[in-house]
Structure 1
Amino acid sequence: MSGTAHKADVRSGGQPGSVAVISSHVARGAVGNRAAVFAIETLGHPVIAVPTVLLPWHPGHGPATRIVHDNRQFAGFMADLAHGPFAGEIDAVLSGYLGDADQAAAIAASVAALRSVRPDLVYACDPVIGDESGLYVSGQVARAIAGTLVPVADLATPNRFELAWLSGRVLEDNEAIIDAARALGPPAVLVTSAFAAQPGMTGNLLVLRETAHLAEHAAFDRAPNGTGDLTAALFLAHLVNGRGHLEALRRATASVHDVLANTRARGADELTLAADAALLSEPVSDIDVRSVGRRSEDITIGG
């Protein structure tokens, strides 16, 4: 993906192209596909939703039954989508949490097949493997994401811990994050939980080939799960809708902040996406995006 925003393909009858979202599905909550599908549909795109694992709730709420598809069936399912009658309508693919390491190869093969139909297809990999507490997937799954999916992505959206694990580097400041992100491979890397300039803030750091841009918002202690899923989905949807990288970063960051603030005010234990759907399209927070890093340009946009 170059620095030029991807332009959404509008089908006959005014129907925009679809986005395929491949991640976990929880019966209750707003993580994985439950967050990403809602966000992308709210921003105007039909979604082809593919669950990689079925769970009653996010594991952070406690142990629960876990249903993972048979790997052969999952591969066949993905091949059907990539080679079937609706392949040409897919503008973008977003993958997230995997239920099994073998799912990575099936996803990569499907992305390759879709690109043969749509060379401008955008593939975004959200490498959901862990956080500051450590890996919460097996090492085999983490290595499959790192070795099979990240290298073929146009966009990767790791948090700071995930980038450190993927790159094998210690990330003590944003300069280290920028260097690690550029070495990762994808032409665009959006790193959540980057270092902010002010206390009590957190940052989303977008690293491109020649520039890097930081958007900051207030940090929330013990925030509900799903903010990474939501950020990746919103950022990708804005790109597919034709917005530039900086505007997509500003809007995605502002929307996540606004939803978090309302979720906290309601005392909810999951992101209150249904109640805050309007904020996904039109956030209310003023978020500045500024250039950072050794190659930075003097660019700042505000809300």
Structure 2
Amino acid sequence: MPRVLSIQSHVVHGYVGNKCATLPLQLSGFEVDAINSVQFSCHTHYKHFGGQVLKSDELMVLYEQLVKNEINNYDFLLSGYVGDDTFLSKLGYIVRDLKSKNPYLIFYCDPVMGDNGKFYVPEKLLQIYKTEILPLADVLTPNQFEAEQISGMKIRSEQDVFKCIHQIQNQYDIDLVVITSVQLEQNSSKESLSGYASLKNVKKLKFTVPYYPEHFTGTGDLFCALLLAQYGNVAPSIRGDCLERVFSLVCSKMHTVLKRTLDMKNQNNEIIYPANIELRVVDSIKDLLKDEPCENCIINLL
């Protein structure tokens, strides 16, 4: 059974970070070990929240015991939200250490920094990502804002999307870059949302999914976990041939979780925002176990 070390946020209540990444991976046959970069009561869109942000020394206490017990044998590393610069630097050390132990380890990096034109982590983390983390990544899943910050380019058209992706791939030698959500100035449609992917600057695709106006939290974390679950189960020699199906299944599973979340929100008026819009991951187990493309999710090879 393939093993994943997932390093990202944790909440007591709700589904973001490790809380929404672990179950989908387990359902796909992955053994998941989780290190929490933060531990909060709930995500930060609630009126009241609190908790702890792990520092680098606390991260290393956890990792060093894995090393001493010789249980740091992983096939995949998944990283998400990190709120502390020293923690992020030590994450780079852990990636290098794990890759020295297993040269075939695949590092999925979701460079969570911000969205909608603004940072929600300290801006100094961007430079650490550029110098210490991205050169180690095999798969990168930024949103549009994060991709623009990493590349230094503004995305206004589909041509800009791939210029941005190619610059990131060429600069950091990353096999697969996925921009998970893109809003182009030339396309003001609110009926669908598109993302783009490029495998080794050779195979490119666009995926389009239904747009929901509600403000979900944790969708990027779930997307990256589903991508690892689908793409990580494909033999390396045929990943390029399976890329279209991989994204079809990822988008289909995302769509079913979001739709179920909205359906259950509308059925229960007693729960108020934002608790009523928490991703219904457990309620979607049967959907997550299905490998059926959804007709509402469109994949186009470019």
Q: TM-score, normalised by structure 2?
A: 0.86
Q: Residue 22 of structure 1: SS of its match in structure 2?
A: strand
Q: Are 2:194 and 1:194 equivalent residues in the alignment?
A: no
Counterpart code for 1:137: V
| Distance in 2 (alpha carbons) for counterparts of 1:264 and 1:152 | 37
| Distance in 2 (alpha carbons) for counterparts of 1:155 and 1:37 | 18
Match of 1:270 in 2: 278
Q: Are 2:298 and 1:288 equivalent residues in the alignment?
A: yes
RMSD (Å) for aligned C-alpha atoms: 1.9
Q: Residue 275 of structure 1: SS of its match in structure 2?
A: helix
| Distance in 1 (alpha carbons) for counterparts of 2:299 and 2:62 | 40
Q: Are 2:204 and 1:212 equivalent residues in the alignment?
A: yes
Match of 1:229 in 2: 221
- Aligned residues, how many? 276
| Distance in 2 (alpha carbons) for counterparts of 1:277 and 1:198 | 34
**Once the 2 structures are TM-superposed, how far is the Cα of residue 95 of structure 1 from its aligned partner?**
0.3
Match of 1:55 in 2: 40
Contact 1:154–1:187 under 8 Å retained in 2: yes
Q: Which runs of 5+ in 1 are unaligned?
A: 1-15, 293-303
Distance 1:180 1:83, change over 3 A: farther
Contact 1:94–1:124 under 8 Å retained in 2: yes
Match of 2:59 in 1: 74
Q: Which residue of 48, 52, 75 maps to 1:91?
A: 75
Contact 1:190–1:206 under 8 Å retained in 2: yes
**Once the 2 structures are TM-superposed, how far is the Cα of residue 261 of structure 1 from its aligned partner?**
1.0
Contact 1:235–1:249 under 8 Å retained in 2: yes
Q: Residue 60 of structure 1: SS of its match in structure 2?
A: coil
Contact 1:206–1:249 under 8 Å retained in 2: no
Q: Which residue of 134, 151, 155 maps to 1:150?
A: 134
Counterpart code for 1:222: E
| Distance in 2 (alpha carbons) for counterparts of 1:117 and 1:147 | 22
**Once the 2 structures are TM-superposed, how far is the Cα of residue 258 of structure 1 from its aligned partner?**
1.2
Q: Which residue of 28, 41, 50 maps to 1:43?
A: 28
Distance 1:144 1:275, change over 3 A: same
Percent sequence identity is 25
| Distance in 2 (alpha carbons) for counterparts of 1:82 and 1:174 | 45
Match of 1:298 in 2: none
Residue deviations 1:186-241 (CA, integer Å, cap 9, x gap): 12111111258793111121112212111111110023111111010100111221
Bigger mean CA offset, 237-246 vs 93-102: 237-246
Match of 1:129 in 2: 113
Q: Residue 21 of structure 1: SS of its match in structure 2?
A: strand
Match of 1:252 in 2: 250
Q: Residue 170 of structure 1: SS of its match in structure 2?
A: coil
Q: Which runs of 5+ in 2 are unaligned?
A: 266-275
